[in-house]
Amino acid sequence: AAAKRKRDGLAARPKKRAKKAPSEPGVDAKPSLDGAGPEEYSIPPPVSQGKWKNKERVLIFSSRGINFRTRHLMQDLRTLMPHSKADTKMDRKDQLAVINEVCEMKNCNKCIFFEAKKKQDLYMWLSNTPQGPSAKFLVQNVHTLAELKMTGNCLRGSRPLLSFDPVFDKEPHYALLKELFIQIFGTPQYHPKSQPFVDHVFTFTVTDERIWFRNYQIIEENASLVEIGPRFVLNLIKIFQGSFGGPTLYENPHYQSPNTHRRLLRLSVAAKLREKQQVKEVQKVKKKGSKVLIGEDPTEVVFQTPAEEKPVEIQLVKPESKPIVKDKKKLRKIQRKKQKKLFRTEA
């Protein structure tokens, strides 16, 4: 009986029908699934119906020992690059060749690896795994997205424009780096996680033998640029033929290691202190030199006037000895008594 009631209850409920679109005049309405009724509303297709052909995937991770600023920079790059993947931190004892195996397991053909040394120096590796080439940079002047100076705000997952300095087309090592930057930072077209919009620009500028990275938002009203971040400076060290090693294709002659830079700073400070000490010693010598006696000048006698010679007096009588009184009060009493006697005699 309970089963019958349930069946009767299900049968009694009316079936929900989808919303029907009004049929246009002159167009035959297609039959619905039920067999009758006009055409139903259909879900609109996506904006871009292209095929995802460029299968670039970038692995972004770091070694152990990085500071908070490097961690935020790494997270910002992952946010701006929808075709990136993340992995756990690598141990310092492991060799860099292990990264090729990690990229293979993650199905990535490009890699950005942050290597920290001495808890203060940050190095960035850009590599095309597993064949190569790869480049090693020293990262300086890091500013992240979370800083207050960056006022822009772009759509997450949108594809960026890549802007390069004309110097990248003049020298061969910069041309190689340009191709590496294009393949790593360029978001593939029709990527599933990307948005079909272009609203920000990655700029790579060469100044002072360094590569300056900036990220700007394109404002629609007047096509002006507002900096979003992150921003950092890449000081090229070496370009290798292989991935994370191999023969050296190019070595930067203008590169100066952080240890050498800190050593020169210490030497300059020590030289300043040494100079101050030498100045003090010279001043002491000058002060001592001023106290040296000058030889007698024979012409000074001209200006001397002889003093009057006084006759020598010889004292033949012994002077009277004064009474020695130990107590001062008694002395005062004696003086008072003498004064009283003189006063009485005078009276």
CB 183 within 8 A of CB 133: no
CATH superfamily of 58-260: Brix domain (3.40.50.10480)
The predicted structure's pLDDT at residue 36: 47
The predicted structure's pLDDT at residue 30: 45
Q: How far does CA 59 lie from the centroid of its chain?
A: 23
The predicted structure's pLDDT at residue 290: 62
Beta-bridged to residue 195, according to DSSP, are 158
Strands 158-164 and 134-143, sheet pairing: unpaired
Q: Find where tokens 């990655």 sit.
A: 202
Tell me which DSSP letter residue 20 carries.
B
The predicted structure's pLDDT at residue 59: 94
Strand residues in the chain grouped as ranges (E): 58-62, 84-86, 110-117, 121-128, 134-143, 158-164, 195-207, 210-218, 225-227, 231-242, 245-251
Q: Characterise 67 by phi-psi region: left (phi > 0), alpha (psi -120 to 50), beta (else).
A: beta
What would the DSSP string read from start to end of 187-244? PPTT-TTSEEEEEEEEEEEEETTEEEEEEEEEPTTT--EEE-S-EEEEEEEEEEEETT
Domain boundary assignment for the chain: 58-260
Beta-bridged to residue 143, according to DSSP, are 231
Q: How many Å apart are CA 115 and CA 282, to the nearest integer?
A: 50
CB 63 within 8 A of CB 90: yes
Q: How many Å apart are CA 125 and CA 114, to the nearest integer?
A: 6
For every one of its 347 residues, what pLDDT tens digit does the chain have, with 9 covering 90 and above?
454 454 554 445 555 554 444 444 444 444 444 444 456 667 655 555 678 888 889 999 999 989 999 999 999 999 999 999 999 999 888 888 899 999 999 999 999 999 999 888 999 999 998 888 999 999 999 999 888 677 778 888 889 999 999 999 999 999 999 999 999 999 998 888 888 888 899 999 999 999 999 999 998 778 788 888 899 999 999 999 999 989 999 999 999 999 999 999 999 999 999 999 999 999 988 887 766 566 777 887 787 787 787 788 888 888 887 766 566 677 788 888 888 888 787 76
